[in-house]
A and B are shown apart, each in its own frame.
Chain A
Amino acid sequence: MRYLILFSVLCFNYLDSMAQSFQLAEPLMFSDRVFFYENCSVELVFEMDGSEVRYTLDGSEPTLESKRYTHPIKLKKTTRVKARCFHPDFLPSEIAELHVFKSQQIATCNLITWNDPDPAYEAPMEALVDRKKGDMNLKSGAWLGFRQEDFVSEWGFRQPPRAKYLLVGSMVNTASWIFPPQRIELTCIDERWKPFQLGVLAPDELENALPVYQIPLIPSNCTKMRLTIEHYGMLPEDHPGAGSRAWLFIDEIGLGW
């Protein structure tokens, strides 16, 4: 009897392992504005009957207990929205994320000096402060591409901006030779003091994406600053284009709250 039970359990478990369990794809996430002054609206899309999308706004992982998405989400502060799909017949999806940023308006009139992008990807400087996030389309007019040098620019403000973060919108698409910056640094170059560092970040993610780097800034009364976005340099040795220089792509620079 004992062996019969054991055999049955093994059989059932074997049959169970034969059952197929496919995973759901992630929900699509859209926002009317990634950079906003007052508010923005985030829409989640997953066109599958019987499924539901659940989301969180506090950075935690969405579970079946999280809030269920029914209509666009209105947001008033910088938020990382995480969403996930569920369906009784399939494994839950990976978590999709969308980060939206409350940011203050800066303009090209705040821009004192800069170096021009490569002519192949030469969006106007206005694109850097238009609060519009570019997509994976390199030629959409949102992107400034740099190949030979870092992006170095100086910014001046009448009043100290008092922002909590520097925001830098970028792209990583390794198949298209676009790599993250080595380092982003904001330095105070106000004549009243010796230059000092306001904030710095060294991104390390190589995953294909449209990251917005959020660099914490120290509080200061600085009104003139230098932003340096360091180019990745040569493509890595295991890259098909090894021996050539990578590309640096930027679509937005902002000051966030």
Chain B
Amino acid sequence: MKRRAFNKQIFAFGILAPAFNRLQKVDPIIGHNDFTYRVEPHWCKADKNRHPVRDCHEMVLDSRGLIYLSTNDVHNNILVFNKDGEVVDAFGTEYPGAHGLSLHDENGTEFLYLTDYERHRVFKMTKKGRVVQEFACPVDAGIYPDESAFKPTETCVGPDGDVYVADGYGLDYILRYSPDGSFKSYFGGKKELNNAHGICLDVRDPITPKLLVSSRAANQLKSYDLDGQLQATVDLPGAWMCRPVIHGDEVYLAVLVSKMPWDSASGFVCILDKNNTLISVPGGSKPTALDRKDGHLHQTVRVFRHPHDVLVDPNGDIYVAQWNSNRVYPIRLIRTQS
């Protein structure tokens, strides 16, 4: 070998070796136990100029695999994405406080329930945004001074079709309405719930369905029977959790922050097993942190700023919508194969 050529090879190897070395690095993995994830920050392909978002509040998945996102940007309060993150539909310009978004299959037809805490209403609408029913403040119930105190954050539909509304930015009541919209009863309130931010129907035990309610500022998840009797409380110290989302046997929760003030960008995700025991905290403390005396959960990796909702798809991948996070679109966590 000529000396010059040899030098060249040495030179090339010198440059390439570190690159090869780095290529062997795998993407960082977040989460614990069997629930670990690779982060895909740029899953969403939306164009900020065409489909802007402010706070991304909540997401649901319909039977066709489309993802609906609620945002308080009145250019398009609902954005609809396909699984590749492309916008396939956008509607809604009259919901400045667009927040909770739930989906309910009513005899084969799916409806969206959107809460608007600024308009003090819950709107039931088709998947194209046509409003078919409204749920207003039950002023006659005698628990509200006026309609403006009612600031609903979440809705779920019970097994009998009754609609439960969480007044999480208002007086923290859980209000129960008949399917026809008439007010039936209430439970909760500020003595029992502190920022009743989310609610979902828990049918993991099909014989005794329950309601799971987040008491965000108390860092608690509470379980009620369908008549509002408190059954159990799960403490997650440090976790200002938004709404509970059930997928399979697990409960998934977006945690907005883990330390004050609210703009501390200290959020993460929590996953509880069928016994409501913490098993994974993507972006946060290992679950055994709660075994310590005075232990509480905190952010460990700066993947998220302020997660506000999670959606879990059939593959177990998680989509995370974020509040007050520089107008970012939802990001995806790809579940790793164990």
Contact = CB atoms under 8 A, between A and B. Distances in A.
A244 interface: no
B286 A49 contact: yes
A25 B8 CA distance: 43
A25 B297 CA distance: 12
A109 interface: no
Given A136-B260, A173-B261, A47 B28 contact: no
Contacts of B263: 175, 208
A9 B15 contact: yes
A220 interface: no
A208 B298 contact: no
Contacts of B28: 20-22, 89-90
A23 B25 contact: no
B141 interface: no
Nearest to A23: B302
Interface stretch (B16-24, B103-111, B118-126, B142-150): B16-24
Interface in A128-178: 135-137, 173, 175-176
Nearest to A209: B261
B234 interface: no
Contact of A19 (B16, B22, B262, B288): B22
B322 interface: no
A26 B260 CA distance: 14
A13, A48, A137, A176: most-surrounded residue (chain B CB, <10 A) = A48
B301 A19 contact: no
Interface residues of B, number: 32
A13 B19 contact: yes
A48 B28 CA distance: 13
A22 B22 contact: no
Contact of B300 (A8, A9, A20, A47): A47
Contact of B19 (A9, A45, A49): A9
B102 interface: no
Dominant secondary structure of chain B at its interface with chain A: loop
B136 interface: no
Contacts of B29: 89
B285 A16 contact: no
A217 B211 CA distance: 61
A59 B178 CA distance: 64
B27 interface: yes
B300 A19 contact: no
Given A47-B289, A49-B286, A175-B261, A25 B23 contact: no
A42 to B, nearest CB: 15
B39 A25 contact: no
Nearest to A24: B301
A12 interface: yes
A46 interface: yes
B12 interface: yes
Interface string B286-323: 10110000010111111100000000000000000000
B27 A19 contact: yes
A25 B301 contact: yes
A41 interface: no
Nearest to A21: B28
Contact of A48 (B16, B20, B25, B285): B285
B120 to A, nearest CB: 22
B41 interface: yes
Contacts of B295: 47
Interface in A8-53: 8-9, 12-13, 15-16, 19-25, 28, 45-49, 51
B137 to A, nearest CB: 27
A99 to B, nearest CB: 18
A45 B22 contact: no
A137 B217 CA distance: 12
Interface of A: 1, 5, 8-9, 12-13, 15-16, 19-25, 28, 45-49, 51, 85, 89-90, 135-137, 173, 175-176, 208
Identify the 8 closest CB pairs spanning chains A and B, nearest first.
A12-B19, A47-B285, A47-B289, A136-B260, A48-B300, A25-B299, A89-B28, A23-B302
Given A15-B23, A19-B25, 6 more contacts: A8-B16, A12-B19, A12-B20, A47-B288, A47-B300, A48-B286
Interface of B: 8, 12, 15-16, 19-20, 22-23, 25, 27-29, 39, 41, 260-264, 266, 285-286, 288-289, 295, 297-303
